[in-house]
Amino acid sequence: DIVLTQTPLSSPVTLGQPASISCKSSQSLVHSDGNTYLSWLQQRPGQPPKLLLYKISNRFSGVPDRFSGSGAGTDFTLKISWVEAEDVGVYYCMQSSQFPRTFGQGTKVEIK
């Protein structure tokens, strides 16, 4: 199974400041079709997860452009250009290149 390792696990940030989360995969996420199926999800407190980004860097409908994704192969990054109060929650990376689908452990973003 593919293991996704997120760092940090907790990220206290000041409003208006940037935040960055790393997701490292135990093996390449490049699918045989040439795509890399690495997604980022946000889970606000008490809510179900929501898709933010798919295929590394594609923002899902309605996602603010302060969220961006980058990376390739086994190393990926989610960046929030400036953190707003509504961004508080847990962020997960997820791979859907192989079965079983796997998630990172989650990174808790909170306001300092």
Partner 1 sequence: EVQLVESGGGLVQPGGSLRLSCAASGFTFSVYSMNWVRQAPGKGLEWLAYISASGVTIYEADSVRGRFTISRDDAKNSLFLQMNSLRAEDTAVYYCARLRFMDVWGQGTTVTVSS
Binding site for partner 1 (CB under 8 A): 37, 39, 41, 48-51, 54-55, 60, 92, 94, 96, 99-106
Question: How far is it, in rounded angstroms, from Cα 18 to Cα 1?
Answer: 32
Tally of residues, the chain: 112
Instruction: Provide the 3-class DSSP secondary structure of residue 86.
Output: helix
DSSP letter for 101, please: P
The residues that bridge with 108 in the sheet, in sequence order, are: 10, 90
Query: 13 or 38: whose CB is closer to partner 1?
Result: 38
Query: 74 or 98: whose CB is closer to partner 1?
Result: 98
Q: Whole-number minimum distance, CB 1 to partner 1, in Å?
A: 8
Question: How far is it, in rounded angstroms, from Cα 49 to Cα 112?
Answer: 23
Q: Whole-number minimum distance, CB 57 to partner 1, in Å?
A: 13
Query: 16 or 48: whose CB is closer to partner 1?
Result: 48
